[in-house]
Amino acid sequence: MTALLSVSGVSVSYGKVEAVRNVSLEVRTREIVTVVGANGAGKTTLLSAAMGVLPLKGRVTFDGIDVARLDIEDRVAAGLSLVPEHRELFATMTVEDNLELGAFRIAKSIAAQSQERVYGLFPRLKERRKQLAGTLSGGEQQMLAMGRALMGAPKLLMLDEPSLGLAPIIVADIFRIVGELREAGVSVLLVEQNAKAALGIADRAYVMELGEFVLDGPASEVARNEAVVASYLGFSHPA
């Protein structure tokens, strides 16, 4: 199967500091791929660069086109979507408006269908549709951020730390929905500190340390790797 997203030989620097060094990664259609690693390993930097938020060196192709020099907006149009760590919601606008803007590039008739699907995935958002995004709880904000991204009908959804700071019950809910997305034909690239949950749901996994991939393979194998167990799975995570 050909890769939907292919990142090859990518490096990202903040000034003289190289946060990501010569990294290559692939996400195929209908696949959940996860990148796990400690805080500061460069996971968020990698996702931001793949989306065009940060400049990078190397090649990024998406759905057969070279996107490495495209603007964020053009990558969105190509079907790539990022739910960033800080969610970047429109805090002073309603849940409904946030979702509507998620479909900014989509025809209104299709947007209405997307909205029904998003409300189906996240019934809580429908209950709160008139509420301002800034007044939602952390879990609801994460749902809204994912819902907003899904409104644009992306081919690949990149999730940056969706479980960060959320109660375990909500984390379980969010991971269940990530699984449902795969069934619906959306590929997911998931960056997580919560390695246990991420490896439990993913098809394949990459382990990142100090800006480099140190291990990759099927998620079930990575989860059994001794070094991974010792570093990331040997103790129970708080979230």
Partner 1 sequence: MNTTILLFLLQDGVTNGAIYALLGLALVLVFAVTRVILIPQGEFITFGALTYATLSAGGVPGTAQLALVMGLVAFGFELFSVRKSLHLAKVVRAALIYIAFPAVVLALATWLPAHKPGVAVNIALSLLIVAAIGLFLYRIAFQPLAHTSVLVLLIASVGCHLALQGFGLVFFGAEGLRGPPLSDVTLTAGPLLFTGQSLAVYGITLALMAALWLFFGFTRYGKALRATAVNRLGARLVGIRTSLSGQIAFLLASVIGAISGILIVPITTLYYDTGFLIGLKGFVAAIIGGLVSYPLTAVAAIVVGIVESFSSFYASNYKEVIVFTLILPVLVLRSLAAPAVEEEKD
Binding site for partner 1 (CB under 8 A): 51, 53, 69, 71-73, 76-77, 81-82, 84, 87-93, 97, 100-102, 104-105, 108, 148-149, 151-152
User: What does 72-87 look like in DSSP terms, one character per residue?
Assistant: HHHHHHHTEEEE-TT-
- Shorter beta-carbon distance to partner 1: residue 26 or 100: 100
Alpha helices in the chain (DSSP H): 43-51, 72-78, 95-102, 108-121, 123-127, 138-151, 168-183, 195-201, 219-224, 226-228
Smallest gap from Cβ 55 to partner 1, in A, equals 12
Smallest gap from Cβ 146 to partner 1, in A, equals 12
- Shorter beta-carbon distance to partner 1: residue 146 or 223: 146
Q: If you search the block for the tokens 């899904």, which residue do you land on?
A: 150
Smallest gap from Cβ 71 to partner 1, in A, equals 8
Smallest gap from Cβ 90 to partner 1, in A, equals 5
Residue 181's CB is within 10 A of a number of other CB atoms, namely 19
- Shorter beta-carbon distance to partner 1: residue 101 or 239: 101
- Shorter beta-carbon distance to partner 1: residue 135 or 220: 135
If we measure between CA atoms, which residue out of 161, 138, 157 comes closest to residue 35?
Answer: 161
N-terminal to C-terminal alpha carbon distance within the chain: 34
Question: In this structure, what are the phi and psi dihedrals at residue 168, rounded to the nearest 5 degrees?
Answer: -55, -35
- Shorter beta-carbon distance to partner 1: residue 92 or 137: 92
CB 201 within 8 A of CB 179: yes
- Shorter beta-carbon distance to partner 1: residue 148 or 204: 148
Report the alpha-carbon distance of residue 4 to residue 106 in Å, rounded. 21
Smallest gap from Cβ 204 to partner 1, in A, equals 25
Smallest gap from Cβ 84 to partner 1, in A, equals 7
